[in-house]
């Protein structure tokens, strides 16, 4: 795998994905074997939006590899508040670190920032655009629970603004997967994402009702309706709370259905689902550490 920057799931081939996931599995099996792999490495953390799982798992991943982080901190406490451009910010922090992780509310920001730096840059979410490392840990979770052969997956919720959906849907075109998209009509896949999927040879199957497809699913990937992405609050209120599942909903599902969620959740998955064998979203979040360890190790010149 040879990429200077990880900006989009579109740049990852099936071979790239398998390389990262296989390496993550090796790390998960024996994390101590990788403890001093990058003892002199500093990872720059540039988060212009709130984050819990992505930021903490990247931090954990770098420290478990023996390195450390340099954190820009909140936007309010940085020079961004004084009007500094993103290009200038990444140029400055590049001089302090060996690699950068960027989250920014503007779609396309990671691609733009990558053009100003020579160290590896990882897109940790650019608005409603892409979130490739979330996709890698999602794929790891899917492979561990359902495999990549003859897979039927339903992706439900905010498909319009959900960057995790956009990344995952494209990556799934590299494996043997049938994709079903469940959402209100107002939150269906953007035309550009639908076009990319068609170009990659995928058939886009769209539904407004989960019940009609649930019994066929091996994986159900649920996403939050993201209030912060809506330009109009009234548009959000029209769809908020429309797509919810609980343990009773899953009575019609296969016994081995895997339920996933990129988190955070609000009310789209009831807490009684947590106690079922279907729930894998907390393990999914935990998988972020070995997957991001694997990616950083490969990007920073690990032995593999």
Is 3 annotated in some ligand binding site?
no
Say how far apart CA 259 and CA 138 lie, in whole Å: 11
Is 38 annotated in some ligand binding site?
no
Exactly one of 41, 54, 141, 174 is catalytic; which is it? 54
Is 5 annotated in some ligand binding site?
no
DSSP state of 52: S
Is 53 annotated in some ligand binding site?
yes
Exactly one of 3, 10, 19, 53 is catalytic; which is it? 53
In the annotation, is 170 catalytic? no
Is 237 annotated in some ligand binding site?
no
Exactly one of 131, 261, 278, 292 is catalytic; which is it? 131
Residue 53 φ/ψ, nearest 5 degrees: -65, -50
Is 224 annotated in some ligand binding site?
yes
Edge to edge, what strands does the sheet with 177-182 contain?
Answer: 205-207, 177-182, 151-156, 219-222, 258-260
Is 134 annotated in some ligand binding site?
yes
Instruction: Answer whether the bond into residue 88 is a cis peptide, omega within 30°.
Output: no
Is 152 annotated in some ligand binding site?
no
Radius of gyration of the chain (CA): 19
Type and span of the H or E element at 68: strand 68-71
Exactly one of 103, 166, 278, 292 is catalytic; which is it? 103
Q: Within 13 Å, how many C-alpha atoms sit on residue 281's CB side?
A: 22
In the annotation, is 54 catalytic? yes
Residues making up the chain, counted from first to last: 304
In the annotation, is 41 catalytic? no
Known binding-site residue numbers: 53-54, 82, 103, 131, 134, 163, 224, 263-264
Known binding-site residue numbers for L-aspartate: 82, 163, 224
Residue numbers annotated as active site: 53-54, 82, 103, 131
Known binding-site residue numbers for carbamoyl phosphate: 53-54, 103, 131, 134, 263-264
């Amino acid at each position: 795998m040879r990429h200077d920057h990880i900006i989009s799931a579109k740049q990852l081939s099936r071979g790239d994905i398998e390389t990262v996931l296989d390496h993550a599995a090796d790390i998960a099996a024996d994390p101590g074997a990788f403890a001093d792999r990058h003892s002199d490495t500093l990872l720059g953390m540039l988060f212009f939006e709130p984050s819990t799982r992505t930021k903490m798992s990247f931090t954990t991943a770098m420290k478990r590899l023996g390195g450390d982080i340099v954190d820009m901190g909140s936007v309010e406490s940085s020079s961004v508040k004084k009007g500094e451009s993103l290009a200038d910010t990444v140029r400055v922090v590049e001089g302090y670190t060996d690699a950068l992780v960027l989250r920014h509310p503007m779609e396309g920001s990671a691609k733009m920032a990558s053009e100003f730096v020579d160290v590896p840059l990882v897109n940790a979410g650019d608005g409603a655009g892409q979130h490739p490392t979330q996709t890698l840990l999602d794929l790891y979770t899917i492979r561990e629970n359902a495999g990549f052969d003859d897979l039927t997956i339903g992706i439900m919720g905010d498909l319009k603004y959900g960057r995790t959906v956009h990344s995952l849907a494209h990556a799934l075109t590299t494996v043997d997967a049938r994709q079903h998209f469940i959402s209100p009509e107002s939150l269906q896949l953007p035309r550009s994402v639908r076009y990319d999927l068609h170009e990659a040879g995928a058939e886009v199957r769209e539904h407004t009702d989960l019940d009609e497809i649930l019994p066929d699913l091996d994986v159900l990937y649920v996403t939050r309706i993201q209030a912060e992405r809506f330009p109009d609050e009234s548009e959000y209120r029209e769809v908020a709370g429309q797509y919810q599942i609980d343990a009773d909903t899953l009575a019609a599902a296969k016994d081995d259905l895997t339920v996933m969620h990129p988190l955070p959740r609000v009310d789209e998955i009831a807490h009684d689902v947590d106690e079922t064998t279907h729930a894998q979203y907390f393990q999914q979040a935990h998988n972020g550490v070995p997957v991001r360890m694997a990616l950083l190790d490969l990007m920073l010149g690990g032995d593999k």
